Amino acid sequence: MVFSSFVFLYGFLPLVLLLYFIAGKEWKNTVLLLFSLLFYAWGEPAGVFILLVNVAAGWIGGRWIERAGRTSIGKLLLLGSVAFQVLFLVYYKYLGFAIETIQSVTSLSLSYSPPSLPIGISFFTFHVISYLVDVYRREAPALSSYSTLLLYIALFPQLVAGPIIRYADIQFQLKERNITADGFSQGIVRFVTGLGKKVIVANSLAETAPLLLDSPIEQLTVAGAWLGIFAFALQIYFDFSGYSDMAIGLGKMFGFTFKENFDYPYVSTSVAEFWRRWNMSVGRFFRDYVYIPMGGNRKRAMFNMFIVWFLTGLWHGASWNFVVWGLYFGLMITLEKSFLQKLLSILPTFVSRMYFAVAVLIGWVFFYFESLGHGTKYLRAMFGLAPIPAADAAFFIHLQNHIVLLTLAAIAATPIPIRLHRLLEERLQPRLARSFYNEIALPVGALVMLVVSALLLVGKTYSPFFYFRF
């Protein structure tokens, strides 16, 4: 079940909201938990058992860790509990990749039948690890109730594709939440905004980008290669930030406050800044639970950086192209810290933005092509190192057909729309005009976006979010 489906929009969501608000205070978490498990079981019934076992191990581990405290025994229990979660993830997601890699570099022939990959395993495993570490650090108490921990892990807005929400950040919200009319309406607007990002923009770009990205190299042009990866960069942004908006909006409807996950990453002037703005929950996780515990900048900074970016790439997928993608960004950030940032700081800002644009688009090539060979050929095409023309008539026809979509998407990926919104809120006079804008124009705009999204969904086949694969 995906947020951008008729089953969710006009069946699941209205029903869970109805039952949640008519339920007594002591039953609200139960309603949320049951519907969260139903949400997960809808597409993967067998995966529910795996989820339950995973959370049970985390619940038992958390109780033991709290009892032992910050002692050597407590540390061993933490390491053992986290190791279980990591091995759990490795078995389902990475064992096949490891065996294939071993077979490719040796003469060994290993018989292996890979298990079905549970949806969202990377996200719910990381949530359990967050819980265990926060308990060990005394940032939050261990939960005596298994069902409350299960609710934190299985909460349907963030279950299958994040964002990663630290247990310490919502520990009190799991027990008591206040829902206001204003907060609920904000949640609806945020959810509909995310729906529009996914259905209207990301799905349209998903039909545009492959026309160039999946073309035979000899049929490409240099300009076409750049246009294709530019379209994909916009597609993945609107797809994933759209999901995050929907998750945050759903959380608000039920009284939860989740941290932001995107902060207009494409306005960055460096790769380091980009990763402070892109998928921030994953960045925070690796910073707080891997980089800093390993020593951070205090000791072996280069080695720690390598491990973090290796794991960041591997977390996104069991394939070498993702590892290369992660290490590429780690290398670029290292170069920026060494000398690039100082050099860029004395140059005009547009130079920094051009550098960033080229650097991030190169990175998306590694991300898109699971075949490193194909990805390398595409990069050669982008930089004119393949026997292809700079542009041709087919490129200009393609550009003409999609220029409006690409232009509007590029503008929408910047803070321009939100700044315009805030400017109108501040400057509209008299008060009647401001009230009309906030109380009529904005709700009507959200309704129009919902209707357009619904119309675009009619007749469409299953269209999962891009990050469901992780």
127 carries an active-site annotation: no
CB-count exposure of residue 274 (10 Å: 0-12, 13-18, 19+):
buried
Tell me how far CA of residue 207 lies from CA of 202, 396, 399, 412, 464, in angstroms. 9, 17, 14, 18, 14
349-368 and 320-335 helices, crossing angle to 10°: 160
d(CA 147, CA 134): 18
Q: Which tokens belong to 356? A: 């960033």
Cβ neighbour number for residue 111 with a 10 Å cutoff: 5
Q: Which of 120, 129, 1, 122 has its CA nearest to residue 55? A: 129
Q: Does residue 295 come out as left (phi exceeding 0), alpha (psi in the -120 to 50 range) or beta?
A: left
Q: Which residue is catalytic, options 316, 398, 402, 421?
A: 316
Active-site residue set: 316
